[in-house]
Amino acid sequence: MTAKQPQTRLDARYSDETATAIPWPQAEKLLSEAELFWISTVRPDGRPHVTPLPTVWSAGALHFCTGPEERKARNLALNPQVVLTTGTNTWDKGYDLVVEGEAVRITDETRLRELAAGWEAKYGSFWHFEVADACFRHGSGHAYVFSVAPRTVFGFGKGEPFSQTRWRFIMED
């Protein structure tokens, strides 16, 4: 399945009269440039789990990595639905984004090498990964890599004008 361009809608209930929806390419640029996201997963008992992590935007999806024994990886094994958020911690300036989707593990080694190069290009040599056994390798550790193609993205413009935009992706065969 592939995603078309998203349906874009400004929610007038939460937006100033002068607000307009930002175009998807602008939101996509913000997703690509953001250095830190917060991922929300669900524990087996239903309690939420939230943790910060770096991501790489590539081929229309956010990508993140985690050790197979970390809480988020164990949560994803039971429930792949996630929310990833990024933005600023101010109420009156900046732009916040909330990405909803399903985390899918990437195991193709060619794709993993492309993503490893993306991590290093974005974050520097500290984030250099080798690829082996369908994982990222860093020192003696290894990490699973996941892709989250957005199902719905919410954007929150803060300051004049305040706005709330929703991008909904309709999947096609």
Confidence bin at 140 (pLDDT 50/70/90)? confident
Using the predicted structure, report yes or no on whether residue 173 has a pLDDT greater than 60. no
Residue-averaged pLDDT of the chain: 95
Q: How far apart are CA 53 and CA 84, in angstroms?
A: 10
Scanning 15-172, the segments in alpha helix (DSSP H) are 24-33, 71-78, 109-123
Quick one: average pLDDT of 143-158?
97
Count the helix, strand and coil residues of the chain and give each as a percent rounded to the nearest 5. 25, 45, 30
Look at residue 3 in the predicted model and tell me its pLDDT: 54
How far is the first Cα of the chain from the last one, in angstroms, to the nearest whole number? 5
pLDDT digits (tens, 9 = 90+) for 93-108: 999 999 999 999 999 9
Quick one: average pLDDT of 58-72?
97
Supply the Cα-derived Rg of the chain in whole angstroms.
17
Kindly tell me the sign of the dihedral angle through the C-alpha atoms of 15, 20, 25, 30. negative
Q: How far apart are CA 108 and CA 113, in angstroms?
A: 9
Using the predicted structure, report yes or no on whether residue 171 has a pLDDT greater than 80. no
Please give the angle made by the CA atoms of 146, 151 and 156, to the nearest 5 degrees.
105
Look at residue 169 in the predicted model and tell me its pLDDT: 95
Using the predicted structure, report yes or no on whether residue 172 has a pLDDT greater than 80. no
Domains and CATH numbers, the chain: 2-172 (2.30.110.10)
Look at residue 170 in the predicted model and tell me its pLDDT: 84
Using the predicted structure, report yes or no on whether residue 1 has a pLDDT greater than 90. no
